[in-house]
Amino acid sequence: MEKPKVVLGVSGGIAAYKACELLRRLTESGHDVRVVPTESALHFVGAATWSALSGHPVSTEVWSDVHEVPHVRIGQQADLVVVAPATADMLAKAAHGLADDLLTNTLLTARCPVVFAPAMHTEMWEHPATQENVATLRRRGAVVIEPAVGRLTGVDTGKGRLPEPAEIFEICRRVLARGVTEPDLAGRHVVISAGGTREPLDPVRFLGNRSSGKQGYALARTAAARGARVTLIAANTALPDPAGVDVVPVGTAVQLREAVLKAASEADAVVMAAAVADFRPATYAAGKIKKKDDQEPEPIVLIRNPDILAEISTDRPRPGQVVVGFAAETDDVLANGRTKLERKGCDLLVVNEVGERKTFGSEENEAVVLGADGSETPVPYGPKEALAETVWDLVTRRLR
């Protein structure tokens, strides 16, 4: 089988060095990558590096190998174009259709999915000119990944960092797998909860659960690759931030509720993948609870936590919003799932059978997605991202 052809466009920002890592990941996972840097990108990383890592010649302008008509051919043949980092200047050129070098020509001739991973200073990112260019590119079907927040060049911090290359790679992989040039969640805002809540007993102890957050993170990555604006409410996870996703860390069920309700007020869909503790200790000891040799331990009194899924299903923070829940069942999976769906009032319920193979923290999952309309969508045992794609398929159908 022929390797998928990827064009890696690199524009002139300090984050160009991170594109070397993206290039390696793409080539090592079986992609044929052609690097097309801009002239200014070569101030940061030289042509020799791009050429050696990609195994292809590297040029910035349209005047090399003219007999091969590279300014047309490279774009036409690509299965995916990813520009990382994309500077403010590159976004402006792409939005306005300028074509003064090989990369901008390639962007005009490509008919495949295009991903931009912008990186620049916060002021440049927030400038209305850049924001309008980003909106134009998104409207035309490009996936423009939101920059990460963090340390920028120099001493300042803010929004504008290039997301981690491993996470840009994940977006590329998913966009390439879908192969569509119209991201179906573009213009949509989705809120996902992930991980497991922890309910503190004292400053060092808590009641928690084994949820790793991997299913919720897979939902966030796939939604971002389908063009959505994504808010991920992450309860006690130890996973890298997905590219383009706004991650809000929380601890307890009460904090999770607050964060979900805040984000859900302007969301098109809410997916509750987090394992939320149904109960919390009635009291919190401000100091560490000490054992006393001559006394039995005090029993732990529990009180109920709010049921966030039921609450947002009943009082939708935004009209027309799609609400999705998750449930783990051991017996009578479908019947119990159907009862739970009705009790909670959500539109879709992803029901997992909890068994030997299907443990917390694994990379795979198997489920049936029940719809309030009576539908049943089985998802065979496979990667969590396949289940995530099915969830978004069902959500987009309901949003239309």
Residues known to be catalytic: 209
User: What span, in angstroms and rounded, lies between the C-alpha atoms of 66 and 216?
Assistant: 48
278 among annotated binding-site residues: yes
79 among annotated binding-site residues: no
Q: How far is the CB of 260 from ligand CTP (least distance, A)?
A: 8
93 among annotated binding-site residues: no
Could you report how far apart the first and last alpha carbons of the chain are, in Å? 36
Backbone angles phi, psi at 212, to 5 degrees: -85, -25
Q: Does 307 bind ligand CTP (CB under 6 A)?
A: yes
Nearer to ligand CTP, 47 or 254 (CB): 254
User: What span, in angstroms and rounded, lies between the C-alpha atoms of 395 and 389?
Assistant: 10
Q: Does 376 bind ligand CTP (CB under 6 A)?
A: no
- Name which position in 172, 218, 274, 388 contacts ligand CTP (CB under 6 A): 274
Q: Does 232 bind ligand CTP (CB under 6 A)?
A: no
To 10 degrees, the CA torsion angle through 284, 288, 293, 295? -10
Which positions from 237 through 266 interact with ligand CTP, judged by CB under 6 A? 253
44 among annotated binding-site residues: no
CB atoms within 10 A of CB 332: 10
Counting residues that bind ligand CTP (by CB under 6 A) gives 13
Which positions from 312 through 341 interact with ligand CTP, judged by CB under 6 A? 325-328
Backbone angles phi, psi at 320, to 5 degrees: 80, 0
- Name which position in 162, 247, 309, 322 contacts ligand CTP (CB under 6 A): 309
User: What span, in angstroms and rounded, lies between the C-alpha atoms of 153 and 169?
Assistant: 22
CB atoms within 10 A of CB 57: 13
b/e sequence 279-299, b meaning 16+ C-beta within 10 Å = ebbeeeeeeeeeeeeeeeeee
Question: Residues 309, 272: contact at Cβ < 8 Å?
Answer: yes
Find the part of the chain contacting ligand CTP (CB under 6 A) among 18-26, 161-169, 270-278, 295-303.
270-278
Nearer to ligand CTP, 83 or 309 (CB): 309
- Name which position in 152, 234, 308, 348 contacts ligand CTP (CB under 6 A): 308
Nearer to ligand CTP, 19 or 346 (CB): 346
Nearer to ligand CTP, 307 or 389 (CB): 307
Nearer to ligand CTP, 269 or 308 (CB): 308
Q: Which residue type does 205 have?
A: R
DSSP assignment string, 130-188: HHHHHHHHHHTT-EEPPPEEEE-STT-EEEEEPPPHHHHHHHHHHHHHH--SS-TTTT-
Q: Does 217 bind ligand CTP (CB under 6 A)?
A: no
Q: How far is the CB of 204 from ligand CTP (least distance, A)?
A: 24
Strands 143-144 and 114-118: parallel
- Name which position in 276, 333, 348, 379 contacts ligand CTP (CB under 6 A): 276
DSSP strands (E only) in 175-291: 189-195, 199-200, 206-207, 229-235, 245-250, 269-272, 279-281
- Using DSSP's 3-state secondary structure scheme, residue 267 falls into coil
Look at residues 54, 67, 59 and name the one whose alpha carbon lies nearest to residue 22.
Answer: 54
Binding characters for ligand CTP, 129-158, by CB under 6 A (x = yes):
------------------------------
Nearer to ligand CTP, 70 or 196 (CB): 196
Cα dist from 281 to 26, 110, 149, whole Å: 48, 58, 35
Nearer to ligand CTP, 37 or 325 (CB): 325
262 among annotated binding-site residues: no
- Name which position in 126, 156, 278, 342 contacts ligand CTP (CB under 6 A): 278
Find the part of the chain contacting ligand CTP (CB under 6 A) among 64-72, 171-179, 282-290, 303-311.
303-311
- Name which position in 269, 272, 323, 369 contacts ligand CTP (CB under 6 A): 272
Q: How far is the CB of 352 from ligand CTP (least distance, A)?
A: 9
User: What span, in angstroms and rounded, lies between the C-alpha atoms of 277 and 5?
Assistant: 46
Q: How far is the CB of 278 from ligand CTP (least distance, A)?
A: 5
In the chain, DSSP finds a helix count (H) and a strand count (E) of 13, 19
Binding residues for CTP: 278, 288, 306-309, 326, 340, 344
**Using CB under 6 A as the criterion, which residues of the chain lie in contact with ligand CTP when the complex forms?**
253, 272, 274, 276, 278, 305, 307-309, 325-328
**Which residues participate in the annotated binding site?**
278, 288, 306-309, 326, 340, 344
